[in-house]
Amino acid sequence: MSTICHSQTFSVHQAKVYTEDVIRKHSKTFYFATGLLPKDKRAAIRSLYAFCRTTDDLVDRDHATIADLENWQNLTNLTPDRQTNPVLYYWSKNRARYSVNRKFERELIDGVRKDLEKTRYQTWSDLRQYCYLVASTVGLLSMPIIGLADQTSFEQAAPYAITLGIALQMTNILRDISEDGERGRIYLPQEDLLRFGITNEDILNKVYDKRFMDLMKFQIQRARDLYRQALPGIRLLHPSVRLAVGASAILYRAILDEIEAVNYDVFKYRAHTSALKKIALLPQIILTVWCLPNP
């Protein structure tokens, strides 16, 4: 990533270009899917993603501290004219434009904080709450930007956004088991490891055997169930954004297929959906989104 500016010597256009660069480097799937959004909404959603990505990166650095995150949170409170960081500058302008509820921004940072305080989750309920904080909040922050269908309230659409966020984060967790283990983090619930006879040391030592494969099958089914519950909620969104949101969800769900394709060996392979496959999936995505049942 480019070096962060330390004085506001950048224009709105330069800040926008910077955020686009963050997304291109860190999430090709999200960049591809948001390309299907109307221009103004695309720019604002990408500014949100760049904010989320940069926030998350803070705790993945060596020797990251709570003080670093608290300083970042204080910076997020500054008005656009006082921002010296291009990501925060562009995001703060967009959140003001779309009247985004900053409660969810604070919850997101609270979730990221957990990565500095906690490396294990005892139950699915514990992990689900973590997924809400770091991922469902992104969907809730997005909703004022992308817009809702006529006669649809935030309260009606929010449960679907929450479930989709949990599904997306579970997909991240399954894909990144090896990388997270190298940082000493094990997100999969301890109760599930126990159920399949797996220890924390097995995960940290990258033990790949039938027990691990069975654990992965169980978790993939859990994630797919979440996608199935969440996808009908796309019908509650403004028609102009349904394809983009559907593409993002379905392409991310396809990572689960890729994990299966490498026989669940996420210690050896980092599952991803290739650019060619994304394009090949587009007709199916369009049909799926078109035929979604009413929630």
Q: State the pLDDT confidence band at 81, using cuts at 50, 70 and 90.
A: confident
How many C-beta neighbours within 10 Å does residue 20 have? 19
pLDDT score, position 9: 65
The pTM for the full model equals: 0.91
Average pLDDT over residues 28-42: 87
Tokens standing for 172? 């991240």
pLDDT score, position 34: 87
Q: What number of H helices and E strands is found in the chain?
A: 15, 0
Does residue 3 carry a pLDDT above 50?
Answer: no
pLDDT score, position 272: 83
Nearest by Cα to 8 from 86, 87, 117, 103 = 86
d(CA 247, CA 284): 10
Q: Where in the chain are the domains?
A: 12-290
pLDDT in tens, 46-61: 999 999 999 998 888 7
d(CA 97, CA 80): 11
Q: What percent of the chain has pLDDT over 70?
A: 97
pLDDT score, position 207: 98
pLDDT score, position 232: 96
d(CA 92, CA 94): 5
pLDDT score, position 89: 92
d(CA 191, CA 6): 46
pLDDT score, position 58: 87
**Residue listed under structure tokens 């924390």:** 200
pLDDT score, position 67: 92
Q: What percent of the chain has pLDDT over 90?
A: 70
Average pLDDT over residues 215-224: 98
Q: Between 294 and 151, whose confidence is greater?
A: 151
pLDDT in tens, 168-198: 999 999 999 999 999 999 999 999 999 999 9
pLDDT score, position 2: 40
Tokens standing for 238? 């403004």
Q: H or E segment at 54?
A: helix 39-60
Nearest by Cα to 18 from 40, 51, 41 = 51
Q: State the pLDDT confidence band at 5, using cuts at 50, 70 and 90.
A: very low
Which amino acid makes up residue 134? V
Average pLDDT over residues 220-242: 96
pLDDT score, position 134: 97
CATH number of 12-290: 1.10.600.10
